[in-house]
Amino acid sequence: MIRFLQTPGPVKKYVLGALLLLITVSMVWYLVPSGSNSTYSFGGPSKGVVAQVDGADVTVDDVETTAKQMAQQQMPQGGPNMSMLMPFFAQRAAEQLITRQALLSEAHRLGLRVNENEIKDELQHGRYAATFFPGGNFIGEQEYNDMLQRVNLTSIKFEESVGHDILLSKLQALISGTASVSEPEIHDRFVKENTKVKFEYAVLKQDDIKKGLHPTETELKSFYESHKASYANSIPEKRKIKYAVIDINKVASTVQISQDELRTYYEQNRDQYRVPEQIKVSHIWIKMPLPGDDGKVDEKKVAEAQHRAEDLLKQLKGGARFEEVAKKYSEDTGSANVGGSLGWIGKGQMTPEFEKAAYSLAKGQISDVVKSIDGFHIIRLDDKQDAHLKPLDEVKAQFEPALKQQKAQQIAQRQADALLKDARTDSIGLDAAAAKQGVPVITSDFFARRDMLPGLGPAPQFMDAVFGEPEKSPPDLASASQGIVVFQLLEVKPAATPTFEEIRTRVEDEFKNEQSRTLLMQKVQELSDRARQSHDLKRAAKELGATMKTSDLVLPDGQVPEVGSMSGQASVAFTMKPGEISGPISSGSDAVVLSVLENQPPTDADFAAKRDQIRDTLLQTKQQERFALFVSNLVDQMTKAGKIKRNEEELKSLTRPPSESGM
């Protein structure tokens, strides 16, 4: 289907990466609210099928593939936690695939359909346009198919999914379209969001209370004993080793790559350095009018587009500069900004009509108006390059450093293996083995897993090896960022619970924090009670040593020093009348009591300026809520009616922890 979308454009290698990941993941997430339905049905779906939805299968492969794509999108760098989170992603993927299929089934039941022109328009002008139509120009059918194959998709499967996304969009619009907001709702939201308040407030600080605390040894020891469980094994396991580092960078500095080695690599990889026949072209493009609702193109508009292109050609023949005409009139916005240049292109990357005309031109020559499926082009050939093989001298700088590093790695590995072999010999040992190779041996102090050792820097892989080594084991080796390390475990200090004397300072600090927090809340409650009884916040603040301050006029989304966000506990100020005194308000290490001085409602002029924005926000929220409720009810109803049948065993298998599952 995509062939009819072909248009010429700048030739670049668009690597999909995260965007193609988005394409595949969006097949699940697009318009489908999060959430799950944990009702399982017995019987029905066979092995390998997670659920049947109105006769359609949601397979284990579908769920596993989607779960991995979800994980990669949210954790692109991977990491050790990814495998632990796979059951979570699998659960989400299963429920969202089931929900998506239920929505598609309902959309078809309601008579909603998607035609080919809608899919075409989505690809050309929607969220995939930047990938497949950079600058408005199709990247070419071969590149399009190659990109999809990289994520195990065919064009048929992908375009079908795009159609499903459009169908879901139509369903959402149908369901959400009945939502509405009233004028009173808009005005109430406006007043709530735009009323300002000014207040005076008394501040009590936890740090001030903490400074006045002087606990006795008996109190601290009692605190330590009552919190001993939190200190258990808080001194991490530590180990002591001696080690020798084979520094790969030092080895690499002595490595030379011979001409024969360069030539051998070059000959083995010649295809990487072949340059196909290419031409460098510029063009001016007048778009072909889009089909109407009946799927037909208005021939009158086609003739008008061709006439515009012919007028531009006359300007060029009359002496106008190609670059200026392209910038002013070309409808290829991507290339118009650079005078119409498409850069270097090869065969098979343009429509046949464009390619035939471009390759027939002489350098510097401008074509007549060329008609192709996407519109009308005026083409200029800027340069031409025959197919050729780049010579070794031109490309060796691209791979020589990698060859040098590879060779250094091999030499370092051989050196490390030899050192380890000697170190494991009783008569030699690590010190003598390292001395034999001129490598210094370092004996460490006791260190924890997250510490750094001299000459190694951050080395998690090495630390894993060291802390996985059993006591009294022979020398071993492990990799680090600096090179290969041969090490010997000397001593292990197991994780331990510190004595009171070892962590007295920590115990005292934690005691003071806990006590001062308790006293702060007691004191601020007393402050509020006294102020309310006397109807005088300033007097109560003076009696209890609190500091009085006054805010500016502040909005509900504002911030006030020592009070914090006005959307938190302090939001009570917007419900109070002038003169009223609040209860205790906690803000981190501070606590306050406030008294409202002034409420300033917004003006009618402000309402007129913000009405439409507030209406749109409220409407969007209601639409989302309505659609989410529709989805939830639909899944529940289809489950109860037996149209959604979940395979409990397959779901359990997919969501088992990694230790229990091979997923």
Residue 270 lies in a domain: no
For residues 507 and 565, membership in a common domain is answered with yes
Query: Could you give the CA distance from residue 213 to residue 523 in angstroms, rounded to a whole number?
Result: 15
Mean pLDDT within 27-38:
43
For residues 61 and 166, membership in a common domain is answered with yes
For residues 284 and 324, membership in a common domain is answered with yes
Q: Over the stretch 491-536, which tens digit does the pLDDT of each residue have? A: 999 999 999 999 999 999 999 999 999 999 999 999 999 999 999 9
Q: Quote the pLDDT of residue 80.
A: 55
- In terms of Cβ atoms closer than 10 Å to its own Cβ (0-12, 13-18, 19+), residue 494 is exposed
Longest pairwise C-alpha distance within the chain: 101
Residue 614 lies in a domain: no
Kindly report the three-state secondary structure assignment for every residue of 559-571: EECCCEECCCHHH
The residue segments making up the domain with residue 227 are 196-231+503-600
For residues 69 and 144, membership in a common domain is answered with yes
Backbone angles phi, psi at 390, to 5 degrees: -65, 135
Q: Which residues contact 181 (CB under 8 A, 6 or more apart)?
A: 615, 618, 619, 622
Q: Does residue 43 register a pLDDT over 50?
A: no
Domain stop point among 333, 353, 386: 386
Q: Does residue 334 register a pLDDT over 60?
A: yes
Domain CATH for 17: 1.10.4030
Q: Quote the pLDDT of residue 289.
A: 85
Q: Does residue 389 register a pLDDT over 80?
A: yes
Residue 393 lies in a domain: no
- In terms of Cβ atoms closer than 10 Å to its own Cβ (0-12, 13-18, 19+), residue 91 is middle
The residue count for the chain: 663
Mean pLDDT of the chain: 86
For residues 41 and 164, membership in a common domain is answered with yes
Residue 263 lies in a domain: no
Q: Over the stretch 269-323, which tens digit does the pLDDT of each residue have? A: 888 888 888 899 999 999 988 777 666 778 899 999 999 999 999 999 999 999 9
Domain stop point among 493, 514, 533: 493
Q: Quote the pLDDT of residue 95.
A: 92
Q: Does residue 144 register a pLDDT over 70?
A: yes
Beta bridge partners of 474: none
Mean pLDDT within 402-419:
91
For residues 331 and 425, membership in a common domain is answered with no
- Structural domain total, the chain: 4
Q: Quote the pLDDT of residue 78.
A: 58
For residues 457 and 350, membership in a common domain is answered with no
Query: Could you give the CA distance from residue 321 to residue 336 in angstroms, rounded to a whole number?
Result: 13
Q: Does residue 608 register a pLDDT over 60?
A: yes
What's at 230, amino acid-wise? Answer: S
pLDDT band for 192, please (50, 70, 90 cuts).
Answer: very high
**Which is more confidently placed, 465 or 135?**
465
pLDDT band for 554, please (50, 70, 90 cuts).
Answer: very high
Q: Which of 176, 137, 131 is nearest to 24 (CA)?
A: 131
**Which is more confidently placed, 585 or 33?**
585
Pairing status of strand 375-385 against strand 388-389: unpaired
Mean pLDDT within 618-630:
92
**Which is more confidently placed, 351 or 113?**
113
Rounded (5°) CA angle 415-417-421:
115
Do residues 537 and 578 touch, judged by C-beta distance below 8 A? no
Mean pLDDT within 572-598:
95
Mean pLDDT within 149-176:
88
**The tokens 């050309």 sit on which residue?**
124
Residue 258 lies in a domain: no
Query: Could you give the CA distance from residue 50 to residue 649 in angstroms, rounded to a whole number?
Result: 8
Residue 613 lies in a domain: no
Residue 392 lies in a domain: no
Q: Over the stretch 452-463, which tens digit does the pLDDT of each residue have? A: 998 888 888 999
**Which is more confidently placed, 151 or 249?**
249
Mean pLDDT within 40-58:
74
H/E stretch holding 468: none
Do residues 379 and 341 touch, judged by C-beta distance below 8 A? no
Q: Does residue 365 register a pLDDT over 60?
A: yes
For residues 519 and 564, membership in a common domain is answered with yes
> For 93-123, b where at least 16 C-beta lie within 10 A, e where not — what string?
bbbbbbbbbbbbbbbeeeebebeeebbbbbb
Per the rule left: phi > 0, alpha: psi between -120 and 50, beta: everything else, 397 is: alpha
Query: Could you give the CA distance from residue 582 to residue 559 in angstroms, rounded to a whole number?
Result: 18
For residues 592 and 466, membership in a common domain is answered with no
For residues 214 and 246, membership in a common domain is answered with no
For residues 373 and 247, membership in a common domain is answered with no
Q: Does residue 72 register a pLDDT over 80?
A: no
Residue 78 lies in a domain: yes
For residues 378 and 421, membership in a common domain is answered with no
Per the rule left: phi > 0, alpha: psi between -120 and 50, beta: everything else, 198 is: beta
Q: What percentage of the chain exceeds 70 in pLDDT?
A: 90
Domain CATH for 322: 3.10.50.40
- In terms of Cβ atoms closer than 10 Å to its own Cβ (0-12, 13-18, 19+), residue 73 is middle
Alpha-carbon distances, residue 594 vs 77, 190, 200, 539, 584 (angstroms): 47, 25, 6, 13, 8
Q: What percentage of the chain exceeds 90 in pLDDT?
A: 57
Query: Could you give the CA distance from residue 351 to residue 6 in angstroms, rounded to a whole number?
Result: 6
Domain stop point among 472, 493, 514: 493
